[in-house]
Structure 1
């Protein structure tokens, strides 16, 4: 069976990163950044202090030309970069909060965004936990395929991850503005239409700043994922939505009272979608997707909160039934 363009693109880009890594004797991430920078710089190999060596540079040039000539569409380019990053970070594991959001979950975010967005096809998208950008770019490229014009804003405290996002956004020719800072400090951002995040799980070390949030606890460290959800919705327009990946037990932890207070007073919790157990190593690591809506002139608490178990993502028939149920819920509760 002949290779499709994504498979060929993956093979070529993976060869490039492997060659670069061998020549520079560097980590996968640093080698990926070098290669991505070359692609952005008109497919030109950048040589510094004799590295990569002449033989490697010649081979890279040939591979870059072959990759360019594939003429990949935007979503094909995204899939290629994601597959290469996925392979590389499996060989050199990252901490859990830095790992890529898998496409299977990204496409659920896309579907929910299409259901929740109004008729306006012009959209500003916010991700305060941008990381390597795969979730944001999955949502952006696929909404564009559905006829939307999307502008993205991403924030992250990790400059290496943000460099990857910046380079990949240029490879994909996506309109994304990126900010390297603590997402929980004051942000000079205009309110967005829609927020997304694969929230990092853990504690936020700045206890003083955490006191500025409803979800901040009086003593000890506050949950970063609670604070980031609150901060995300603070930069979403009135009546706008946020879709977040959170621990399934987020309403049952020792800090649950604070997140419940925020939900009760400041926003509407419109939906909780329990993801399949097969996606997670154990029960304790299980996650859900939740739908939050800001108060606004036309927004209100849904008469019936969407509570659903997402079926196996490999079962097309069950997924179609799930999509039908979500659509029916939206028509009854949000229109």
Structure 2
């Protein structure tokens, strides 16, 4: 991957977004969506700019210098991600934490292993945000015929996700809605989700969930797990980025009982503590299968503390251990 391609791509998004931000009086993040749309469509779509020849020529010069067809999908994803991160620092979407790149790529590696028996598959991210995690995974599933779906409640984030996928040429369906309400989708082969952590404010909407709290707001991350099981096929796979304290607290036994009834635990991989501001914010990757015909638990679940992603030797050893586990413990029939 050419670092200068990522920088060039980011710089063009950044320069053109600043122009659009100033001329159209929108936020930088909204301008990132607008300029991404312009690049994808190969035209300046903002009609109100047409009378201003100086501005349109300035934008067109930037776009003409791009040659995006020469960039890899990962270069496009990373450059666009940098612009989105810049925009989120000063936006109302600052609460939305994008999945770190190293984690997204490691999740991609695991998804590849978990779906090794499938030539065709459907994948869902019910908290897709800007589509960064989903497209990172899609970029590593190049040998498969993949149909992907993303759900996101925030209007601007879902627009960024849609444009992000378009620029990388992933035919992803995005739905702008509350993912904890009824979804009009068929069950999928695999669900991935960097779980939104916190309380779900819609007590009425939570009533249909087994994992609801009957006394006050329910935990959103618990409901997302239940919803993911609901929209994953029997025998399908689920992969979550979860808080390390998922099984602590007064509702932990309820969650544990739900998972025991509906799923099979494949593994829990703790992410390096060095990635997080404090131990309280630390996260892990949780791998499960939904119960179904011919689904048996592995004799030994994959449990590990991941080393720092920058420690190549330690990571190489860990990858070898994970490969060995998949070769000996993870058995699924081809469909």
Partner-residue secondary structure (3-state), 1:120: coil
Give deviations 1:55-87, integer Å, cap 9, x for gaps: 222111011111136622222211221122123
- How far apart in 1 are the matches of 2:60 and 2:129? 29
Aligned to 1:141: 139
The runs of at least 4 aligned residues of structure 1 exceeding 4 Å deviation read none
Partner-residue secondary structure (3-state), 2:245: coil
How far apart are residue 239 of structure 1 and its match? 1.1
- How far apart in 1 are the matches of 2:194 and 2:47? 37
Note if 1:300 corresponds to 2:323.
no
Aligned to 2:203: 207
- How far apart in 2 are the matches of 1:66 and 1:50? 20
Note if 1:122 corresponds to 2:123.
no
Q: Is the 8 A contact 2:13 2:32 kept in 1?
A: no
Aligned to 2:70: 71
- How far apart in 2 are the matches of 1:84 and 1:95? 13
How far apart are residue 24 of structure 1 and its match? 2.4
Note if 1:235 corresponds to 2:231.
yes
**Where do 1:49-88 residues align within 5 Å?**
49-50=48-49, 53-68=52-67, 71-88=70-87
Note if 1:327 corresponds to 2:319.
no
Q: Is the 8 A contact 1:20 1:56 kept in 2?
A: no
- How far apart in 2 are the matches of 1:30 and 1:129? 20
- How far apart in 1 are the matches of 2:291 and 2:94? 35
- How far apart in 2 are the matches of 1:196 and 1:213? 20
Q: CA 1:155–1:106 in structure 2 vs 1: closer, same or farther (change >3 Å)?
A: same
Q: CA 1:280–1:51 in structure 2 vs 1: closer, same or farther (change >3 Å)?
A: farther
Q: Is the 8 A contact 1:272 1:291 kept in 2?
A: yes
Deviates more, 1:118-127 or 1:286-295: 118-127
Aligned to 1:9: 9
| TM-score using structure 1 length | 0.93
- How far apart in 2 are the matches of 1:34 and 1:118? 37
Give deviations 1:104-136, integer Å, cap 9, x for gaps: 111111111111113222221100001111000
Aligned to 1:102: 100
**Which of 110, 113, 121 is 2:111 aligned to?**
113
Q: Is the 8 A contact 2:49 2:56 kept in 1?
A: no
Aligned to 2:37: 37
Deviates more, 1:85-94 or 1:155-164: 85-94
**Where do 1:278-289 residues align within 5 Å?**
278-289=274-285
Deviates more, 1:75-84 or 1:3-12: 3-12
- How far apart in 2 are the matches of 1:93 and 1:278? 27
Note if 1:185 corresponds to 2:184.
no
Partner-residue secondary structure (3-state), 2:98: coil
Q: Is the 8 A contact 1:23 1:53 kept in 2?
A: no
Note if 1:259 corresponds to 2:258.
no
- How far apart in 2 are the matches of 1:222 and 1:256? 12
Cα RMSD over matched residues?
A: 1.9
- How far apart in 1 are the matches of 2:51 and 2:20? 7
- How far apart in 1 are the matches of 2:51 and 2:188? 42
Q: Is the 8 A contact 1:130 1:156 kept in 2?
A: yes
**Which of 146, 151, 165 is 2:147 aligned to?**
151
Partner-residue secondary structure (3-state), 2:183: coil
Deviates more, 1:156-165 or 1:212-221: 212-221
| TM-score using structure 2 length | 0.93
Q: Which sections of structure 2, spanning at least 5 residues, go unmatched?
A: none
Deviates more, 1:102-111 or 1:9-18: 9-18
Q: CA 1:30–1:307 in structure 2 vs 1: closer, same or farther (change >3 Å)?
A: same
How far apart are residue 3 of structure 1 and its match? 6.4
Q: CA 1:175–1:3 in structure 2 vs 1: closer, same or farther (change >3 Å)?
A: closer
- How far apart in 2 are the matches of 1:24 and 1:301? 56
